[in-house]
Structure 1
Amino acid sequence: MGRLQGKRAIITGAGSGIGRATARLFAAEGASVLVVDRNAEGVEATAAEINAKGGKAIAVAADAGSEADVTAFIDKAVKAFGGLDVLYANAGISGGWTPLLEQTAEMWQEILRINLIGPFLAIKHAAPIMTKQGSGSIICTASVAGLRANAGGSPYSASKAGVISLVQTSANAFYGTGVRVNAVCPGLIETGMTAPIFEGARARGNEGKIGQLNPLKRGGQPEEIAAVVAFLASDEASYVNGQAVPVDGGLSSTLPFAQQRF
């Protein structure tokens, strides 16, 4: 029996990276998963891999920042699985490192639409289902960029700080319902979004410097985020609510400092 045995889950941004790793782990732990991504090919591949290994997955190509799409894929999951126990609002975009004074309102609007309005819509439409059954776990992907400066561009960082606030306010909005809302805050994780950083460092022979600012002195892997998400989704985290959990090798625990030799 896996720790998510019988759980019915939705994971957005599941066509690659953290979302795909989480979908794999959820299925391995016994959950039925509806996987969502704008990249139809990627999300179909995620579902096919899970089903080939004996798991249960349904793929949906959708835009996590579109209310019509969100209501449609939540309805699909409920009809297919008979309910909804877990929703992981993971889909997001980075927006790159455009200098602040060169950013446009349109850039901000699109990043906020997907990264912040998307999780809001997921919570808005999943929570009524969960409150009726008296239980449920909603997890959102925030970021260390939402905790401190210089881990992402301005609009991305603002969107992730908004996700942290959204999680806190939502957890309190569902006071007494049994619905928990938490966030995970990844540090530097090797995904498609961060591929230029990792590939550039390897090309320059500087791979050893990746993650040098955190105490573990390395970057992370999607599976390391998935493990924390699976915990938050499980009954083992039944008393964890309204939290933003950094998974960053210790980066957010420190202020800048000069390395000491011991």
Structure 2
Amino acid sequence: MTPQENVDLSGRVAVVTGAASGIGRASALMFAAAGAAVVCCDKAEGVEATAEAIRTAGGRAAARVMDAGHEPDVAAAMEAAEAEFGGLDVVFANAGITGGVREFLDAGPEVWAEVLRVNLIGPYLAIRHAGPRMAARGGGSIIMTASVAGIRANAGPASYSASKAGVVNLAQTAAQAFSGTGVRVNCICPGLIETEMTRPIYDYAKAMGTEVPIGMSNPLKRGGVPDEIATAALFLASPLSSYVNGHALVVDGGLSSSHPWTGARPFSAARGGEAKAAE
């Protein structure tokens, strides 16, 4: 049984940004399979392919080419959800950029400004234009994509990490701001997920002959796939998470459960000690 078969979003309307590929596309497809009408949004024109895939499968979807950090575009997407499908119940502000992999001091103010515009101001704009609409309907769910990079250092470039830390706090402050309205605001903190954004990491690993070790720093010993984040988004979009609010849901294979460890793992060290004692 697939995750969406356990969740019923029938009659609900969702907006998903970054829906042309990766986590956004997987989430849009999963929301639609659970019964939601989905407005698929992305700067890339490939977003139409996501909407078409939903319609081909018998679902309801619309596509909009938009900039997630440009307020008129965001406002228009929320308006389109109401105009085309009669309401707005779920928003997944997922669109984001890395700003490129740079040394700490190498990214200038223009890089920081663009990363913050898309990754942090973008989700704020989604809240600004979706929250009041949801409140007027008696509630809704706003979900944002943060990152484990927003929890601890060394999981992404500095500007990216700072923007995602801002998203974690934004989920908390927005949940408080909409207190009593029925609007829930949460974020997801993915670990390393194979998407178009992380493609350079995977391509570099393949070129160096080190594809297998990717993701080996987490207890599951692998990277994740978009569907594993989409499942978390589906949970937060659904009534199953009705008492989850102002929360950062970490989905990283256990990566952030520990500080970096350069020596033997405690479990291995303990077993080694027991073996020597037995001898």
Q: Same fold (TM over 0.5)?
A: yes
- In structure 2, which of residues 26, 35, 54 is the aligned counterpart of residue 30 of structure 1? 35
Partners of 1:144 and 1:185 within 8 A in 2: yes
Note the 1:162-241 alignment, pairs <5 A.
162-241=166-245
Aligned equivalent of 2:76, options 45, 64, 72: 72
Q: Which residue matches 2:130?
A: 126
Partner Cα separation in structure 2 for residue 180 and residue 66 of structure 1: 23
Residue deviations 1:70-105 (CA, integer Å, cap 9, x gap): 111110111111110000000000012211222111
1:102 to 98, 106, 112: 106
SS in 2 for 1:34: strand
Cα separation, 2, equivalents of 1:19 and 1:48: 15
Matched, 1:155 2:159: yes
1:83 is the counterpart of 2:87? yes
Unaligned runs of 5+ in 2: 272-279
State, as a whole percentage, how many aligned pairs show the same letter. 59
* 1:57 equivalenced with 2:57 (yes/no): no
- Give the superposition deviation at 1:259: 3.7
- Paired residue for 2:277? none
Q: CA deviation at 1:139?
A: 0.1
Counterpart for residue 275 of structure 2: none
Q: What is the CA deviation profile of residues 103-127 of structure 1, one whole-angstrom value per residue up to 9, with x for unaligned ones?
A: 1111110000000000000000101
Give the letter for the 2:223 counterpart: G
Q: CA deviation at 1:251?
A: 0.5
Q: For residue 134 of structure 1, report the CA deviation from its aligned partner.
A: 1.1
Q: Between 123-132 and 1-10, report the one with greater CA deviation.
A: 1-10
Question: Retained in 2: the 8 A contact 1:96–1:152?
Answer: no
Three-state SS of the structure 2 residue aligned to 1:101 is coil
Deviations 1:180-203 (A, max 9, x none): 000000000000010111122223
Mean Cα displacement is larger for which, 52-61 or 199-208? Answer: 199-208
Equivalenced residue count is 261
Per-residue deviation, residues 210-242 of structure 1 (Å, max 9, x unmatched): 111110010000000000000000001000000
Give secondary structure in 1 for the equivalent of 2:132: helix
3-state secondary structure, aligned to 2:169: helix
Q: Provide the residue aligned with 1:252 in structure 2.
A: 256
Superposition CA RMSD, Å? 1.0
Q: Name the TM-score, length of structure 2 as normaliser.
A: 0.91
